[in-house]
Amino acid sequence: MTAPQSALSRRSFFGAAAGISLGLTGLRRSYGLDGLLPAPAFGFGPLVDDPEALLALPEGFSYTVISRAGELMSDGFYVPARHDGMATFPGPDGFTLLVRNHEMNRGSPAVPGRLGAFGNDNELLERLDPGTVYDIGDGGRPALGGTTTLLFDTREQRLVGHRLSLAGTLVNCAGGPTPWGSWISCEETVDAVGQGRLQDHGYNFEVPATWDGGVVTPVPLKAMGRFRHEAVAVHPASGIVYETEDRSDSLIYRFIPDRPGELARGGRLQALRILDQPSMDTRNWDGQTVRPGLPLAVAWIDMSDVEAPDDDLRSRGFEAGAARFARGEGMWWANNTVYFACTDGGDARKGQIWSYVPSPYEGTSRESEEPGTVELFIEPNDGTLCENADNLTAAPWGDLIVCEDGTGDDYLFGVTPAGEIYNFGHNQAGNGEFAGSCFSPDGTTLFVNMQNQGLTVAITGPWEQKV
């Protein structure tokens, strides 16, 4: 088998990256500047065509489709479509729990390709206690977003079961795991009451990572803000939650809970500000305002009226001095750092990845003594390297594994701590983003969604052979 032509034409040779700043100061590299030196190899080698024309992976790796939209689940509901953000947790009997979002939009009876948990005519809705459906909607047309929970055996690479775990929400895009064993599911919409909706949307919801818990009673975490949420990451020592916003003029937020681990009890919402540079535009759309590898000290601005009926948190925050970002997307905590993607950042609008290192006094009155710092980690400005970074996760060996949501020819790619980029997977089934990349707790299995195909896959292989 040979590497697919699309993989060869995109990113196989890093000579195309000449002159591009990719990563940390002193570690950024420009490849093939004189045309004589071979491009260095990173990752796991070239991608190999999939005989099923679904997912190209490096030699020695394989995948198993473990869940498809429209399948009947263990609880009698259907697997909803539009699989998105995910995270894994240790499960019972050595199994892995996987909590998965579904980016389903408004609930007319689900159209083909957008099947909801309740069937195409929502005929299974009556099986649920109405108190477990956040927005049951008018006329039997509920909001169709939410989460499902999967139980997976990594030893035998088989699905043990899957069930519905959050119902009646909208456009559940990404989210993030908590150190106390739950998944925060984020609504990427600010739909309000009316036009068939009985509840306001634009909130986060917490889903316990358990197998036998049934559908959770949905509680909107209103103090965390009402906006087009994308993802979150939790500071394990303090319980502070960082949040991204999927808008072209978005902010980065943090939520300081009144009681760590009890988000529904309320807290303070703040927005990130660059010290000494109020209202900084970090998008680099009109020249390089921010350069990779330069740590910028930050402060945090208290936000008011956080339920924002006018969806104006980001504009009020920017006017108060908060920094502006280009569509905050995936976010992940690793190595005492919050990594997050801005999918439209950079002059070419191909995406950025940022890192935030918290203060040793994060969220306390002493924070100004040693502020946290935010840094532009990579901004390739080259679609052959990065085509709109979206969800991301940290690999057990320290790299990031990043999902693309680009123009149709989408890849999974890795980023080393030095900012070097390599291909890991290619969607050969046609137009469709990757989403929800995450590793099993034992490190053997990478899970990822292929959203337009309605698939969750489990990937295994010789992880120890990374170059």
Reduced 3-state DSSP string for 100-169: EEECCCCCCCCCCCCCCCCCCCCCCHHHCCHHHECCCCHHHCCCCEEEEEEEEECCCCEEEEEEEEEEEE
Is 77 part of a structural domain of the chain? no
How many C-beta neighbours within 10 Å does residue 251 have?
A: 27
- Whether the per-residue pLDDT at 235 is higher than 90: the answer is yes
Segment 332-356 mean pLDDT: 98
Q: Is residue 381's pLDDT more than 50? A: yes
Distance CA 227, CA 234 (A): 19
pLDDT for 260 equals 97
pLDDT of amino acid 393: 99
Report the distance separating Cα 217 and Cα 408, nearest Å: 37
Residue 69 lies in a domain: no
Q: How confident is the model at residue 114 (pLDDT cuts 50, 70, 90)?
A: low
| CA 113/CA 345 separation, integer angstroms | 30
Distances in whole angstroms, Cα of residue 95 to Cα of each of 251, 311, 387: 37, 41, 34
- Position 449 in a domain: yes
When pLDDT is cut at 50, 70 and 90, the band that residue 107 belongs to is low
Residue 60 pLDDT greater than 70, yes or no: yes
Cα distance between residue 458 and residue 110, in whole Å: 27
Q: Which of 8-22, 115-129, 166-180, 237-251 has the lowest mean pLDDT?
A: 8-22
The band of 139, judged by pLDDT with boundaries at 50, 70 and 90, is confident
Calpha distance 108→140 (Å, rounded): 9
In this predicted model, what pLDDT tens digit does every residue of 2-25 receive, in sequence order? 333 333 334 443 323 322 334 333
Mean pLDDT rounded to a whole number for the chain: 90
Instruction: Please report the pLDDT score of residue 431 as a whole number.
Output: 84
Q: Which pair of structure tokens corresponds to residue 343?
A: 């999918």
Res 118: pLDDT: 95
365 lies in a domain? no
What's the pLDDT score for residue 22? 40
User: Residue 58 belongs to what H/E stretch?
Assistant: strand 55-58
Q: Does residue 412 have a pLDDT over 90?
A: yes
Task: State how many domains the chain has.
Answer: 1
- Work out whether strand 204-208 and strand 229-234 pair parallel, antiparallel, or are unpaired: unpaired
β pairing state of 204-208 and 182-187:
antiparallel
The answer, yes or no, to whether residue 153 has pLDDT greater than 70, is yes
Per DSSP, the three-state class of 55 is strand
**What's the pLDDT at 13?**
31
370 belongs to a structural domain: no
Asked if 198 and 137 count as a contact pair (C-beta separation under 8 A), the reply is: yes
Find the mean pLDDT for residues 246-261: 98
**Residue 41 banded pLDDT, cuts 50, 70, 90:** low
User: Is 201 domain-assigned?
Assistant: no
pLDDT at 456 over 90: yes
The model's confidence at residue 467, banded by pLDDT at 50, 70 and 90, is confident
- Output the six-digit token pair for 334: 């690793």
Please state whether the predicted TM-score (pTM) of the whole model is above 0.75. yes
Instruction: Give the domain extent around 407.
Output: 1-64+382-467
Residue 29, in any domain of the structure: yes
Predicted confidence at residue 4, as pLDDT, reads 33
pLDDT value for 19: 27
pLDDT at position 408, please? 75
Identify the band that residue 35 occupies on the pLDDT scale cut at 50, 70 and 90. Answer: very low
The pLDDT of residue 113: 55
Question: For 418-439, what is each residue's pLDDT tens digit?
Answer: 999 999 999 999 888 999 999 9
430 lies in some domain: yes
